[in-house]
Chains A and B, each alone.
Chain A
Amino acid sequence: MSLSQESDENLMTRFGRGEAAAFEFLYRRHELRVFRYLQRNVKNEASANDLMQEVWFAVARGAANYQPTAKFTTWLFTIAHNRMVDMIRLNHRLQSLDAGEEADTEGSSLLDRLAVEEKLEPLAQVQSQDEAAAILNAVSQLPAEQRSAFLLQAEGELSVEEIAAATGSNFETVKSRLRYARAKLRQLLWEHA
């Protein structure tokens, strides 16, 4: 079986046996999802890059002790979440996360980053780009814990149980956070429309 067809868990196991190529496949498969999760939580590209490096370094260094007892993505996003929380605590930014005060000053603006769907008509392209920006802006306005839970579901494709395990929260709490997050997003999108 080629590496591209291998499951995440098998790739990790093979990397644990010294196959560098397995890690590269794994990294390419999850690179953007992890980065988006980090960037949309910390709202800072440089911090997201730092965290990204830390997270994947931790994954690589933990390969020797990796046991495929759960989904790899659960483990990966647990590391990502914990590193992000550590960084926020270190920088005394726990409260500022909620406030969403730190704007991304170093990176490009959201509208600039959003790719245009070329198959659409110019007007539709603008509308599509505008809608994407609206959704991403709405996500960034969610409270930190709701945003984190929503992004773990949307980017990490984790279940409620897995989110609860990754964040160290109660199942019902996570369920509640997700419900509030979706309600808030709908409201923000309705307001935007």
Chain B
Amino acid sequence: MTPKDNAQDDELLARYRRASDTDAAAPSESVRSAILAESRRVAAELARKAPQHPFDVSRPAANDARWKITAFGTLGAALLAALLIAPRFWESERVSQLSEAPAAAPEAAPAAKTAPADAAALAPATVPRPKMESIAPSSPSEPLQEVVVTQADRKTSKASAEESRQYSAPAPSNSPSVVQNYAQAPSTPPPVATSSAPLAASSPPAAPPAYSARSAEGGVLSMNADRTARARLVPTPSSLQSAAGLGDARRAAVLLDQGVAVDARDQDGRTPLMLAVVQGRLEVVRLLLARGADPNAADNDGRTPLQQARDRNLRDIAALLERAGAH
């Protein structure tokens, strides 16, 4: 069909419509009335049958694309959250299975729970203490304290300062242990719990690492919390150094439990103890010394932890290092 044909067709239609418009033919009035009357009847019927609120008009319709944006956005956010969270659970499962290995700790729980006098009697049956013999008392009148960090220290430096005050004065031998204090006063911030007990230089190892013992006895910190802490850790020397520098005693303890070398050095020859000293992390210093860290280890520049503590005027830490044999 050519454009000319189209034009002719259009012209024909136009002529027809002009002619048709002049035609006065129309339905009769009675038919018109009947149709409109019927429509009113049907309308009334439809209005009566129509539900008042067939659906919630405040919500977008199914064919309205707006809901899709919200739905897909929510779905995406949920998926992202799941991707971020899922590895933690996965790691938790794996590490908790791995951490079942040092199961000797729960057996030693009663030893840590008993009084200091009883501890000596029970100690031979328990796991040997790691290198506590190397920490010599600086003064015979001052009983050497065994301090074992059992929980991560994620507190601020202010909290650390408060604790350092608490530990700067040696606890009397007949005073209740800090563990008991924490147990009796649950309102006390729980992250760090220490166990202090008089320790004779010649006495045999008295208790296993209190971290495991306390977990087993269901103390302030639950085993679940420990497992969670383990779950986030990768047992590498750099992890331990990082935990030491950040003052995360619980994490450091877990890493040590997992076999990370306590004196692992970084590229500058610094040990975790040095990093903890430099950052003023008293709890971690205690922990590392208790776990046998060398207080006289020097970095590549020949600086020792004690020198660094003195340079920074960290008297509590310096005193602790001196008691551990630093010179």
Contacts and interface: CB of A to CB of B under 8 A. Distances in A.
Contacts of B22: 114-117, 128-129, 132
Nearest to B30: A49
- Secondary structure call for the B interface: helix
Contacts of B175: none
A45 B16 contact: no
A44 to B, nearest CB: 12
Contact of B24 (A15, A113, A155, A185): A113
A79 interface: no
B31 A52 contact: yes
Contact of A17 (B17, B20, B50): B50
Interface in B1-59: 8-9, 12-13, 15-20, 22-28, 31-32, 34-36, 38-40, 42-44, 46-50
Interface residues of B, number: 33
B42 A60 contact: yes
Contacts of B49: 64
Interface in A20-53: 20, 23-24, 27, 31-32, 35-36, 39, 45, 48-49, 52-53
Interface in A159-192: 182, 185-186
A23 B42 CA distance: 10
Interface in A100-115: 107, 110, 113-115
Interface of B: 8-9, 12-13, 15-20, 22-28, 31-32, 34-36, 38-40, 42-44, 46-50
Interface of A: 15-20, 23-24, 27, 31-32, 35-36, 39, 45, 48-49, 52-53, 56-57, 60-61, 63-64, 107, 110, 113-117, 128-129, 131-133, 135-136, 139, 153-155, 182, 185-186
30 contacts: A15-B43, A16-B46, A18-B44, A18-B47, A20-B40, A23-B43, A27-B35, A27-B39, A31-B26, A35-B27, A48-B27, A49-B27, A49-B31, A52-B31, A53-B27, A53-B35, A57-B38, A61-B38, A63-B46, A64-B49, A113-B25, A117-B22, A131-B15, A132-B22, A135-B16, A136-B19, A136-B23, A154-B13, A154-B16, A186-B12
